Amino acid sequence: MNKMLNLSSNPHIRDEVTTSEIMRDVVIAMIPTTLYGIIQWGFNAALVVILTVAFAVLSEYAYEKFMKMSITVGDWSAAVTGLILALNCPPDIPVWIPCVGAVFAIIVIKMLYGGLGKNWMNPALGARCFLLISFAGKMTGWTVVGPDAMSGATPLAFMKAGGDMAKVDLMNLFLGRIPGTIGEVSKLCLLIGAAYLIIKKVISPKIPCIYIATVAVFTLLFGGHGFDINYVLCEILGGGLIFGAFFMATDYVTSPITPKGQIVYAIILGVMTGLFRLFGGSAEGVSYAIILTNIIVPVINLKTIPKAFGREDEK
């Protein structure tokens, strides 16, 4: 009779896996692309990663200490936020800029809404969009990789400007010998990390695969290149789609919990990304697509809740 029942609101999901174990797996999955980015870009990229993660963790610790809350930095969620933000920054960016972004992500987007599980958008992506608006020039400055690789603009910007498709090397796009952010360029490393998360059952491939497939179909229909598979592959491999699909769109807090809702969510993500890329002013659109779709996730959940057996819809 001394056992107490824990009564809480739905959904009633129970699992022996802890938040810290999940977040550690996410960090492990991002190690290949992080190491690749540091090896390719050098000291400043390493400094961006280390300091952004440190500022994210310290911001959460300081806020909780000041507000006399339980200290939660041990769940690794702040480290994940800092790492994702760092990997979404250019390698030569002044290190203080992503550090400001880390503080914004943790304090403004996460902690002011109540902490992990209560934020309405992905903190790292929200902070990245904040930095893109505040420091547009610094956030879109790209480092030349080498004489045999594409230089100057990113592949997406090159294609959007009407560049010669023959100059876009798919192997360079896949391996990561292209300009871009620290962690988005090597699709090989990202897919290795994604495979790890799927094998560990941290994420399901449903949302990423439907998201990427929707972008591919949208590009075929509205890209203006006809049925050009090479162009579609360039759109898939040339930007942050793979990174966003597997590591950000699958965020537990800001993605739907219903099976139908996840399908709807992924399709909306794909359409939004296609609209931003093909018809927007920028060549990329993954970050904005994800945070804007995050906003309507509660509505998606509400509209896709399975009906109780034997219950008819209200007239």
Report, as ranges of residue numbers, the positions in the chain whose pLDDT lies below 70.
1-16, 142-153, 163-166, 308-315
> CA-to-CA distance for 279 and 253, rounded, in angstroms?
29
> CA-to-CA distance for 152 and 144, rounded, in angstroms?
6
Tokens of 232: 């579609």
Q: What is the pTM of this model?
A: 0.87
Q: What is the pLDDT of residue 79?
A: 94
Q: Where are the domains of the chain?
A: 19-138, 152-181+205-303
Structure confidence by residue, pLDDT tens digits, 206-260: 999 999 999 999 999 998 877 888 888 988 998 889 999 999 999 888 889 999 9
Q: What is the pLDDT of residue 176?
A: 87
CA Rg value for the chain? 20
Q: What is the pLDDT of residue 115?
A: 78
> 218 to each of 208, 251, 279, how far by Cα in Å?
15, 24, 12
Q: What is the pLDDT of residue 1?
A: 46
Cis peptide before 11 (omega within 30 of 0): yes
